[in-house]
Chain A
Amino acid sequence: MSGTIIFTKEVFWRGVRRSAPLAAGLAPFGFVTGLITERHGLSLADCALMNGLVYAGSGELVALANWMHPAPILAAAFGAFVVNLRFALMGPVLAPWLTGLRPIWRYLSLTILVDHAWAISVTDMRKGGRDVALYVGLSVPLWFGWMAAAMAGFLSAKGLALPPDHPLFFGALAAFVALLVPLWRGRADLLPWLTAAGVAVAVARLLPHSSWYIPAGAICGCLTGALMEKPRG
Chain B
Amino acid sequence: MGDQLSILLAIAAMAAVTIACRCGGYFLFARVEPSPLVRRALAYLPGCIFAAYVVPALIAGPPGNWIGAAATMLTMWRTRNLGVSIAAGVACGWGARVWL
Contact = CB atoms under 8 A, between A and B. Distances in A.
Interface of A: 18, 20-22, 24-25, 42-43, 46, 49-50, 53-56, 59-60, 63, 69-74, 76-81, 84-95, 98, 106-107, 110-111, 113, 115, 118-119, 122-123, 165, 167-168, 170-171, 173-185, 189, 192-197, 199-201, 204, 213-219, 221-227, 229-230
28 contacts: A25-B86, A56-B18, A60-B14, A73-B6, A76-B14, A80-B14, A81-B18, A81-B21, A84-B17, A88-B22, A88-B25, A91-B23, A92-B26, A95-B29, A115-B53, A122-B46, A167-B93, A173-B61, A174-B85, A183-B47, A183-B50, A194-B51, A201-B59, A218-B48, A218-B52, A219-B41, A219-B48, A230-B37
Given A88-B24, A93-B42, A225-B41, A180 B2 contact: no
Most central of A92, A175, A216, A229 by chain B CB within 10 Å:
A92
B17 A80 contact: yes
Given A49-B8, A80-B14, A174 B69 contact: yes
B14 A63 contact: yes
B16 to A, nearest CB: 7
B30 to A, nearest CB: 7
Interface in B44-100: 44-62, 64-65, 68-69, 72-73, 75-77, 80-83, 85-86, 89-90, 93-94, 97
Contacts of A181: 73, 76-77, 80, 85
A50 B35 CA distance: 37
Contacts of B17: 77-78, 80-81, 84
Contacts of B86: 21, 24-25, 171, 174-175, 178
B51 A119 contact: no
A171 B86 CA distance: 6
Interface magnitude class on chain B: 35 or more
8 smallest A-B Cβ distances: which pairs?
A217-B52, A88-B25, A21-B83, A221-B48, A91-B26, A70-B6, A174-B89, A225-B44
Contact of B16 (A71, A77, A216, A230): A77
Contacts of A71: 3, 6-7, 9-10
Contacts of A196: 47-49, 51-52
A93 B59 CA distance: 28
B42 to A, nearest CB: 6
Nearest to B89: A174
A73 B13 contact: yes
Most central of A22, A80, A118 by chain B CB within 10 Å:
A80
A160 to B, nearest CB: 18
A175 B78 CA distance: 15
Contacts of A22: 82
Nearest to B49: A218
Given A84-B21, A95-B29, A176 B46 contact: no
Contacts of B9: 71, 73
B48 A193 contact: yes
A170 B41 contact: no
